[in-house]
Structure 1
Amino acid sequence: MSWIDWLVLSVTILFIVIYGIYKSRGSKNIDGYLLGDRSLPWYNVGLSVMATQASAITFLSAPGLAYSDGMRFVQFYFGLPIAMIILCITFVPIYHKLKVYTAYEFLEQRFDLKTRAFTAFLFLIQRGLSTGITIYAPSIILSTILNINTTYTTLFIGSVVVLYTVYGGTKAVSYTQMLQMSIIFCGMFLAGFMVVQLLPGDVGFVKALKIAGKMDRMNVIDWNFDLNNRYTVWTGIIGGLFLQLSYFGTDQSQVGRYLTGSSVGQSRMGLLMNGMLKIPMQFLILLIGILVFTFYQYQKPPVFFNSYEVNKIENSSYKAEFKEREQDFNLAFADKNTKVLALDKALNTNQNVEQASAEVKEANENLEQKRLDALAVMKKNNPDADLDDTNYVFLTFVTQHLPKGLIGLLIAIVCMASMGSTASALNSLASTTSVDIYKRLINKTGSDLKYLNISKITTFFWGVISIAMALFASKLGNLLEAVNILGSLFYGTILGIFLVAFYFKSVGGKAVFYGAIITEVFVFIAFKYDWMAYLWLNLFGCILVIVFGLLLQSIFKEKKTAQ
């Protein structure tokens, strides 16, 4: 990067951090530290909710996912607007009426302490692990730019976020997120505009999408009902609905965002804002990935987008062999490029389009095989090498092809997105640990100052745990999918517990507690043996908790009657 990019990057991030700390001054008690004194307006709530979900993973991995797999991931969000409406009607007024700090306080009032503690424990495991993934995402950026190991950049990024979150609490999180999302929207729009400008002169926006479509990348809608297909309309509307209900309704990282609203109405408007904007935003981010894909049909892509791994093999004994495979790849691209130009011409004349499209697909398969041959050499050199480079596609495009200044801004955007979502997660982990564990089980009569200090200590503790997890995140493949798979292992069970609490008044704490434990075992078995696509695990877990809860309640009731 140029000195201009470094200046833009540094000033943007520094301004965001200072602004958040300035706006959060004066948090002298646990209510102000964890919930911002419940005083924030709807637009602040809405942007904070979006920023918590839209981590660096969204802006780094989503374009790469579209590049390799097309637009079908957008179906993942089809259940979101329905989930927002349900939450506004049910969860939000209950949480505000009870004036809880965390979602899990409600469960003790409805069931018992062990159910509250178990649900909080599931959340802490899931969110603690996934927060590490969100820290790892921007460390990829700095690693690529500086050409150093991600271990060092992970430690740096994690430390910065932990420090300002420990100091400022939820107000620092919310105010920085509001500013972050404003900059992010502008930056991503500029990125999309620049991709189109960098395409060949006669290839505009519409033709770029047509070319991508002929290569099976514009697969936005899939109506097939297939339990093993990760992304269809049905997995999005049904499986995605239950995932979003659990994430926004029971995950403290999101509940804590809209509990900061000054009223039920402000919280509801913030959630509805998220429901209306999230799908268009995700669609546009994926669309940028499609445009980058079209760009690389004319401009030769690297054989492997992770330059750090490439540099390692180029300094090894396998360098000559890798260079041979790379040359084969270059020749295959030249052949494919000829076929792409023929397809371009066919689209102009509307003649022989299908034949040209078939030839491009065949040439693309040949190119992919040459790429795999090169990666096989890379694997020989380093058996632990991560061969999934989708997280590096957009980053490579930005750093190699965008103008000075804009590179720094876009990299700052990805870093800010990570900081925002990570800060929200750390804040939620701290509130759950301090309120549901420390305040409830260890010290019930402490002062406000004591609880405030414990909240800061637990924020720091979870920051360390998350950084440790981030150091292993490189083994998880595409980060966007990894974080959602991890959530799906727990969200169905957690949502089932809450739905039983709301709608099945006959079921007691003992039945739902043991039902949830049995369910979690079944969910892990279903995942291990690949019974269904991961989004269905949310529905599967939710239904099992309800069924086991009702069944066990009837058994316990019969035993009690017999006695």
Structure 2
Amino acid sequence: MSEIDWAVLILTLIVIVSYGVYKSRGAQNIEGYLLASQSSPWYSVCLSVMATQASAITFLAAPGLAFSSGMGFVQFYFGLPLAMIVLCITFVPIFHRLKVYTAYEFLEQRFDLKTRALTALLFLIQRGLSTGITIYAPSIILSTILNINTTYTTLCIGGIVVAYTVYGGSKAVSYTQMLQMSIIFLGLFAAGIMVVQLLPADIGFGRAISIAGKMGRTNAIDFKLDWNNQYNVWSGLIGGFFLQLSYFGTDQSQVGRYLTGSSVGQSRLGLLMNGLVKIPMQFLILLIGVLVFTFYQYNRPPVFFNSFELNKLEKSSYSPQLEVLKAKYEQVFQEKQQGVVKLNKALDLGDQSAIDQQRSVLQQADGQTKVLRKELTDLMLKNDKGADINDNNYVFLSFVTRYLPQGLIGLLIAIIFLASMGSTASALNSLASTSVIDIYKRLLNKEAGDEKYLKASRWSTVLWGAVCIGMALYASKIGNLLEAVNILGSYIYGTILGVFLVAFYLKQVNGRSVFWAAIITEVIVCICGWQEVVAYLWLNLIGCVLVVLLALLLQMLSRAGKKA
């Protein structure tokens, strides 16, 4: 990066963090630290909720996902608007009325302590692991820019986020996220415009989308019901609905965001606006990945986007084999480039026969490229068994650093840092609040004063920060980061949602029944996920329905046993 880019990056980060710390000064009690004194307006709630969900993973992995497999991932969010409506009707007024710090306090009032502790524990496990992944995402950027190992960049970035979250608590998170999302929207539009500008003069936005479509990258909608297909309309509407409902309704990282709303109405409005804006935002991010794909049909992409791993191979004893693969890769790209030019001419003429012929040629070239990349990753593993062979997360970053103008590179990288900082800070704040309110205050130290709980919240943030940074050091082994986070959540969210639905709607079910239903369900869901019985989004539906049905069954058996 140039000096201008470094200046833009550093200045943006300093301004955002300083603003959040300044606005959060004076959080002297636990309510101010964990709930920002419930004083946030609806737009702050909306931006904070979006920033918590839109981590650096979104801006690194989503374009890479569209680049490699198309826009089908947007269907993942189709259940979001409906989930927001259900939340506004059911969850928000209940949480506000009970004046809870965490979602799990309600479960003790409705059931018992062990059910509250179980759901809090499930959340802590899931969110702790997921937050490690969100910390790892921006460390990829620094690693690529500085050409150093991600271990050092992970420790650096994790330390910065932990520091300002410990100091400012929920207020620091909310205020920084407002500015973060504003800059993020600006940067995304700028990136989309620049990709189109860098295409050949005769290739406009519409033609770029057409070319990508002929190569199978604009397949945004799939109405076919396939239980093993991760992304189609039905998995998004049904499985996605249950995942989003559980994430926003029972995950403390999100519940903590809208509990900062100054009233039920402000929290509701913030959630509804999030439901309206999120799908177009995600569509835009994926669309940028599709445009980058078209760009790389005219400009030779790297043989491997993770430059750090490629440099290691170039310096190894396998360098001669790498050069042979590079030569083959260059030849395949030249053939593909000629095919794209012919496809563009066929599109100009409207010659369907020629279009179909060139599409077939390009699909074959795509297949050859994948074979060569597989040979390359095999070579990397021979050289280093611990090599990170998933370069999906580096596609957009590589494009940004190589082709965008000075200043804009620094801004876009700042955006990815800001997104990571926002989501990570929210997660750490939620982990601290759950640990202190549901575990420490309830089980370990019931009679301490407010100052003691505030101190425990800060130390809990530090502890969870260390745990999440430790998880981040192993995140390179799990493939596409965006999918990894959602897969991990799908193992747990359905179970937790089922417990809350029983609490809200099945008044005849007691704590013992729902507790054992949740444990049995979690075992079944983990087995289904491990064996890949269905696509991961369906695990949310399975988990939720199983908890409800098993809780009813166990309650009936309990009553029958008492009568006998």
Match of 1:191 in 2: 191
**Structure 1 unaligned residues grouped into runs of 5+:** none
Match of 1:561 in 2: 563
> How far did residue 322 of structure 1 move?
0.7
Match of 1:115 in 2: 115
> How far did residue 180 of structure 1 move?
0.1
Give the match's secondary structure for 2:390.
Answer: coil
Structure-2 separation of matches of 1:79 and 1:538: 12
Aligned: 1:160 with 2:160 = yes
Q: Deviations over 1:266-323 (max 9, x none)?
A: 0000000100000000000000000000000000000100001001011110011111
Q: Deviations over 1:119-165 (max 9, x none)?
A: 00000000000000000000000000000000000000000000000
Match of 2:63 in 1: 63
> How far did residue 184 of structure 1 move?
0.2
- Contact kept? 1:138, 1:414, Cα under 8 Å: yes
- Contact kept? 1:336, 1:367, Cα under 8 Å: no
> How far did residue 561 of structure 1 move?
2.2
Counterpart code for 2:518: A
Counterpart code for 1:554: M
> How far did residue 383 of structure 1 move?
2.4
Question: Number of aligned pairs?
Answer: 562
Q: Deviations over 1:505-545 (max 9, x none)?
A: 11000000001000000001101111100000000000010
Describe how 1:286-297 pairs up with structure 2 within 5 A: 286-297=286-297
> How far did residue 411 of structure 1 move?
0.3
Match of 1:392 in 2: 394
Match of 2:323 in 1: 323
- Contact kept? 1:74, 1:282, Cα under 8 Å: yes
Give the match's secondary structure for 2:491.
Answer: helix
> How far did residue 373 of structure 1 move?
2.3
Structure-1 separation of matches of 2:470 and 2:371: 36
Counterpart code for 1:292: V
459, 462, 487: which is aligned to 1:460? 462
Counterpart code for 1:516: A
Match of 2:485 in 1: 483
Structure-2 separation of matches of 1:298 and 1:111: 61
Aligned: 1:208 with 2:247 = no
Match of 1:339 in 2: 339
> How far did residue 369 of structure 1 move?
1.9
Structure-2 separation of matches of 1:433 and 1:196: 48
Structure-2 separation of matches of 1:189 and 1:91: 34
Structure-1 separation of matches of 2:119 and 2:299: 51
Counterpart code for 1:391: N
Structure-1 separation of matches of 2:523 and 2:480: 26
Structure-1 separation of matches of 2:273 and 2:7: 33
Describe how 1:96-495 pairs up with structure 2 within 5 A: 96-351=96-351, 352-495=354-497
Counterpart code for 2:58: T
Give the match's secondary structure for 1:262.
Answer: coil
> How far did residue 374 of structure 1 move?
2.4
Counterpart code for 1:141: I
- Contact kept? 1:128, 1:465, Cα under 8 Å: yes
Structure-1 separation of matches of 2:113 and 2:95: 18
Structure-2 separation of matches of 1:249 and 1:317: 53
Q: Please, what TM-score do these two structures have when normalized by structure 2?
A: 0.99
Structure-1 separation of matches of 2:82 and 2:433: 28
Which contiguous aligned blocks of 4+ residues in structure 1 show a shift greater than 3 angstroms?
none
Structure-2 separation of matches of 1:387 and 1:345: 36
Counterpart code for 1:18: S
Structure-2 separation of matches of 1:344 and 1:84: 43
Q: Please, what TM-score do these two structures have when normalized by structure 1?
A: 0.99
Structure-2 separation of matches of 1:489 and 1:289: 28
- Contact kept? 1:339, 1:363, Cα under 8 Å: no
> How far did residue 31 of structure 1 move?
0.2
Describe how 1:29-108 pairs up with structure 2 within 5 A: 29-108=29-108
Match of 1:505 in 2: 507
Structure-2 separation of matches of 1:514 and 1:280: 40
Structure-1 separation of matches of 2:398 and 2:486: 24
Structure-1 separation of matches of 2:4 and 2:26: 36
Match of 1:25 in 2: 25
Give the match's secondary structure for 2:492.
Answer: helix
- Contact kept? 1:527, 1:534, Cα under 8 Å: yes
Structure-1 separation of matches of 2:14 and 2:274: 27
Q: Deviations over 1:144-198 (max 9, x none)?
A: 0000000000000000000000000000000000000000000010000000000
Give the match's secondary structure for 2:227.
Answer: coil
> How far did residue 370 of structure 1 move?
2.3
- Contact kept? 1:332, 1:370, Cα under 8 Å: no
Describe how 1:499-538 pairs up with structure 2 within 5 A: 499-538=501-540
Counterpart code for 1:404: Q
Structure-1 separation of matches of 2:56 and 2:35: 24
> How far did residue 348 of structure 1 move?
1.0
> How far did residue 386 of structure 1 move?
2.1
**Structure 2 unaligned residues grouped into runs of 5+:** none
> How far did residue 367 of structure 1 move?
2.4
Structure-1 separation of matches of 2:369 and 2:255: 47
Structure-1 separation of matches of 2:383 and 2:561: 64
Q: Deviations over 1:331-388 (max 9, x none)?
A: 1101111111110111111112111211111222222222222222222212222221
Structure-2 separation of matches of 1:353 and 1:333: 19
Structure-1 separation of matches of 2:376 and 2:477: 20
Counterpart code for 1:318: Y
Give the percent of matched residue pairs that are identical in Structure 1 and Structure 2.
68
Give the match's secondary structure for 2:26.
Answer: coil
